[in-house]
Amino acid sequence: MSRWQRRGYATLGGAVLSSSWWWPVQASAAEAAKIDAGDTAWVLMSSALVLMMTAPGLALFYAGLVRRKNVLATLMHSFILLAMIRAFS
């Protein structure tokens, strides 16, 4: 038996975590029943914009870490890697 178990911290922590994480889910369950088309469209559009910004942002970030003559190669490595991830996932 560990020191934490002897003092009852493990049991107390488990009881607090298991009972308190469910409360926000129960409170918002009534509001989650209605789905608005505008909210759904906004979430889809926002996620599309983030995905479109990710590739150039990563490429330019990694290009800033190399010398000037290797920037194009680093940009292409980033884009090819993202294309492979999108193709095989």
- Determine the distance from the C-alpha atom of residue 31 to the mean position of all C-alpha atoms in its chain, rounded to a whole number: 24
Tell me how far apart the alpha carbons of residues 37 and 35 are, in angstroms, rounded to a whole number.
7
Answer yes or no: is pLDDT of 85 > 80: yes
The domain ranges of the chain are: 1-34, 35-89
Helix, coil or strand: residue 33: helix
Amino acid 41: pLDDT = 94
**Distance from C-alpha of 24 to C-alpha of 40, rounded to nearest angstrom:** 21
Q: What is the pLDDT of residue 44?
A: 93
pTM of the model: 0.45
